[in-house]
Amino acid sequence: MTSRRNFLKLGAIAATATATFVGTGALTNAEEPRIKGGRDYSPDTGKARQAIPSACWQCVSRCPMIGYTEGGRLVKVEGQPNSIRTDGKVCAKAQAGPNQVYDPDRILFPMRRVGNRGEGKWKRVSWDDALTKIAGRLKTSRRRPSGKIHVPLRAHEGKLIEIDQEPVPGQLQHRHYR
């Protein structure tokens, strides 16, 4: 039978051992081995892919990343391994970058709707025609009594951005609205 004294001794030894391991970080701060990127190899040929430093444009954060090309085609992206902000990681949006680059439905040039809304009928137009049309609409909107244009410019967090038309010459100012 265990005496009270032996029980307390065993408890004190266990508490001391636990405090020792926790205090040194042996139990709580165990570092995982870090595998840093910066190089990638083709699974088919085994040759190193060309690494091109860049930044992600999928959101406003502009995380640093590296794009890997093989035969002139982007095949993979990963975080910049030396980045102190991202610690060499990127989100799923950034990792989907190659899919967006080579998406067959990606719009590569300006188009104008020729049918009714929802019909899916479009006609390719030149960049000059598209910019002239947009500039004309913006000039018309400037003449409105409010002097403001509501434009969904990558509305952040579901907020619409309102653009003030000439607060300071040469500057564009905006306010966020819900």
pLDDT higher than 60, residue 142: yes
pLDDT in tens, 52-81: 999 988 888 889 999 999 989 999 999 988
The mean of the pLDDT values for the chain is 77
Per-residue model confidence (pLDDT) at position 150 = 58
| C-alpha R_g of the chain | 29
Quote the CA–CA distance of 95 and 112 in Å, as a whole number: 31
Amino acid occupying residue 110: P
pLDDT higher than 70, residue 21: no
Quote the CA–CA distance of 124 and 102 in Å, as a whole number: 20
Amino acid occupying residue 96: A
Query: Could you say which of 3.40.50.300, 3.40.718.10, 3.30.830.10, 2.20.25.90 is the CATH number of the domain covering 33-106?
Result: 2.20.25.90
For the chain, domain boundaries: 1-31, 33-106, 109-143, 146-178
pLDDT band, very low/low/confident/very high, at 128 (cuts 50, 70, 90): very high
Per-residue model confidence (pLDDT) at position 123 = 93
Least Cα distance to 81 among 137, 127, 38 occurs for: 38
| Contact present, 144 and 132 (Cβ < 8 Å) | no
pLDDT in tens, 26-35: 544 445 444 4
Quote the CA–CA distance of 177 and 149 in Å, as a whole number: 13
